[in-house]
Amino acid sequence: FLYCIMVSMLLTLRSGRPLRLAVGSTNPCKVDAATNALHSVLNATNPHYDRARKDDFLVVSSHSSPSGVSDQPTTVTETLLGAKNRALAAHQTSSDADFSLGLEGGVRFDEDGSCWCYAFMAVYCPSEAEGRRWGIAKTGEFMLPALMTRLIKEGVELGVADDVVTGRVDSKKGGGTVGVLTGGVVGRGVYYEQAVVLAMSGWTGKEVFWRGCGPDGEVDEDEVKSCLARAKGEKVSG
């Protein structure tokens, strides 16, 4: 009952219309990551996908979309809200898109004072028939260097702190902090791509993701009881 990505692929075949994705950012790194991720999804799930004709299968538009949160979110809640706000803003700008995507980077502080960097991907499906579902995923986290952490605590945005500490310019439009800290092994694009693919799992893996759920997304209690009984039986027999 979700607006499965396979439905969009069938639209591509039947009507000649490619899948349309609106990205709530004009940052080239983020747009490229979203584009590459969706092409990977299409390549894996659509037997008719042809990378040589990739523009026939996917059209991506980029939009300057406000996050509605601070320039440097410092909590998981605020960061996720920023991603969702960007996705909704992109949808409002490009309402004919099949999906809209918001990407928001954030940091959080541990009790020991360490600062951890991550990003949320929020995919919005505007289909009335499918209940306007969300797909959410979060990148892996990594600890930031002490000097960058101190600057962020003083109110400096991570991208600016990165530029100051590393001597780079506009690092957030390139490999980002994750790129410099991993020696280029994990660039910002790759870092985002996997999370975008994961955010699509409610559509690409819908049979498992939404098993036992009703149209409202709530888990059916009878299904829970049935699964618990089977789980307990497996444990006993094991």
What is the separation, in whole angstroms, between the first and last Cα of the chain?
35
Retrieve residue 138's tokens: 């979060």
Residue 128 has what pLDDT?
61
Global pTM value:
0.87
Q: What is the pLDDT of residue 106?
A: 96
**Biggest alpha carbon–alpha carbon distance for the chain:** 61
Neighbour tally for 15: CB within 10 Å: 8
Burial profile 85-102: b = 16 or more Cβ within 10 angstroms, e = fewer: bbbbbbbebbeebbbbbb
Q: How far apart are CA 202 and CA 218, in angstroms?
A: 14
Determine the average pLDDT of the residues in 86-95.
Answer: 95
Lowest mean pLDDT among 31-40, 77-86, 201-210: 201-210
What pLDDT, on the 0 to 100 scale, is given for residue 8? 44
- Closest by CA position to 192, among listed 21, 31, 22: 31
Residue 140 has which token pair?
A: 């892996």
Residue 7's pLDDT band, with cuts at 50, 70 and 90, is very low
Per DSSP, the residues of 34-67 read HHHHHHHHHHHH-TT--GGGGGGTEEEEE-----
pLDDT of residue 17: 79
187/87: higher pLDDT: 87
The pLDDT of 100-113, averaged and rounded, is: 96
pLDDT at residue 9 tops 60 = no
- Confidence at residue 176, expressed as pLDDT on a 0 to 100 scale: 87
Interatomic CA distance for residues 205 and 211, integer angstroms: 10
Confidence of residue 2 (pLDDT cuts 50, 70, 90): very low
Q: Are 21 and 58 in contact (CB under 8 A)?
A: yes
Whole-angstrom CA distances from 15 to 19, 71, 113, 126 are 11, 41, 55, 20
Range list of H helices, 173-237 = 176-181, 188-199, 201-204, 206-209, 221-237
Please state the rounded mean pLDDT for residues 115-137: 86
Distance of CA 233 to the CA centre of its chain: 37
Task: Decide if 215 contacts 131 (C-beta within 8 A).
Answer: yes
Secondary structure (3-state) at 187: coil
DSSP string, 136-168: EEE---EEPPHHHHHHHHTT--HHHHHHHHH--
| Mean pLDDT, the chain, integer | 87
The DSSP call for residue 115 is E
